[in-house]
Amino acid sequence: MRLIIQDTADDASRWTARHIADRIRRRQRESDAPFVLGLPTGSTPEGTYRELIRLHRAGELSFANVMTFNMDEYVGLPADHPQSYHAFMREHLFRHVDLRPEHTHLLDGAAPDPELECARYERLIAEAGGIDLFLGGVGEDGHLAFNEPFSSLCSRTRVKTLTEDTRRVNARFFGGDLDRVPRQALTVGVATVLEAREVVVLALGRRKARAVQQCVEGPYSHTSTVTALQTHPHGIVVCDDEAATELRVSTYRYFKEIEREQR
């Protein structure tokens, strides 16, 4: 695992965006195959999306040959619902860049048969040749996508019931009204994320310090599904200094030094 610790949230977001941009450009130089990018929602990726948009507007990055798959969607929210992750992605990334609409994929929260929808999504990812880079955020309790504590670390895309904690944290997107936050979500599984050729988890702020500590130093455990990243051959955690505050001093120094030497 690599751990990239940046001074501020802005620096960490910029690092992440530039890393993604480098990967996309490298693919464009080497092949005509689309770059397949897995994407999260939430507050965490907003700065990364802003930087990707800036690079695009500066003429330094094209998404014309990029295909995207989002991590999750609330059950019961149609794509045009303002709090749906479809709407979030349109607002924070898709409408600002040259992604082809038919190249963007999200789970359909309003699908009449959610199980069938999850199977369709797994099939689409496989047909795209798998995901090249999956970007993720992390919940305060260490959940990856909507794989709440005690989710199987071998899970695939499926319906999950959300914990009250997760619904409370996300109530801010629903005017602070817990009753408006859906009780279930469709989410890619832990194994779906780990099958990507590279996984980058971004964690910002002190609220995420415990999740970062678990992910980097904690035991591999379904109590914090982000710890599954420890088994990935190309896993990267990117965080700001605040999110690194629960790490041991020796861990912090190790990763700071090793990244300095690689520059």
With binding defined as CB under 6 A, does residue 166 bind ligand GLP? yes
Nearer to ligand GLP, 25 or 90 (CB): 90
Contacting range for ligand GLP; rule: CB under 6 A; set: 4-12, 42-50, 90-98, 103-111: 42-50
Other beta carbons within 10 angstroms of residue 215's beta carbon come to: 26
Alpha-carbon dihedral 77, 98, 35, 81, rounded to 10 degrees: 0
Two tokens at 210?
Answer: 């415990």
With binding defined as CB under 6 A, does residue 38 bind ligand GLP? no
Report how far residue 33's alpha carbon sits from residue 37's, in angstroms, rounded to the nearest whole number: 12
> Given 19, 103, 143, 222, which residue is catalytic?
143
Span between the terminal Cα atoms of the chain, in Å: 17
β-strand pairing of 198-203 with 235-240: parallel
> Given 108, 117, 148, 240, which residue is catalytic?
148
* Options 8, 31, 43, 223; binder of ligand GLP; rule CB under 6 A: 43
Q: Please, are residues 147 and 189 in contact by the beta-carbon 8 Å criterion?
A: yes
Report how far residue 96's alpha carbon sits from residue 68's, in angstroms, rounded to the nearest whole number: 15
With binding defined as CB under 6 A, does residue 72 bind ligand GLP? yes
Q: Please, are residues 250 and 176 in contact by the beta-carbon 8 Å criterion?
A: no
* Total chain residues near ligand GLP (CB under 6 A): 13
β-strand pairing of 184-187 with 158-161: antiparallel
* Options 71, 99, 107, 135; binder of ligand GLP; rule CB under 6 A: 71
* Options 38, 40, 114, 235; binder of ligand GLP; rule CB under 6 A: 40
The distance of closest approach from Cβ of residue 138 to ligand GLP in the complex, given in angstroms and rounded to an integer, is 5
| Catalytic residue list contains 72 | yes
The distance of closest approach from Cβ of residue 231 to ligand GLP in the complex, given in angstroms and rounded to an integer, is 19
Nearer to ligand GLP, 99 or 203 (CB): 203
* Options 6, 13, 16, 44; binder of ligand GLP; rule CB under 6 A: 44
Burial group, residue 81, by CB count within 10 angstroms (0-12, 13-18, 19+): middle
Give the x/- contact pattern for ligand GLP in 112-151, rule: CB under 6 A: -------------------------xxx-----xx-----
Nearer to ligand GLP, 34 or 68 (CB): 68
Report how far residue 125's alpha carbon sits from residue 105's, in angstroms, rounded to the nearest whole number: 9
| Catalytic residue list contains 240 | no
Two tokens at 27?
Answer: 């693919």
The distance of closest approach from Cβ of residue 58 to ligand GLP in the complex, given in angstroms and rounded to an integer, is 26
Report how far residue 236's alpha carbon sits from residue 144's, in angstroms, rounded to the nearest whole number: 14
DSSP 235: E
The residues carrying an active-site annotation are 72, 141, 143, 148
Residues that bind ligand GLP (CB under 6 A): 40, 42-44, 71-72, 137-139, 145-146, 166, 170
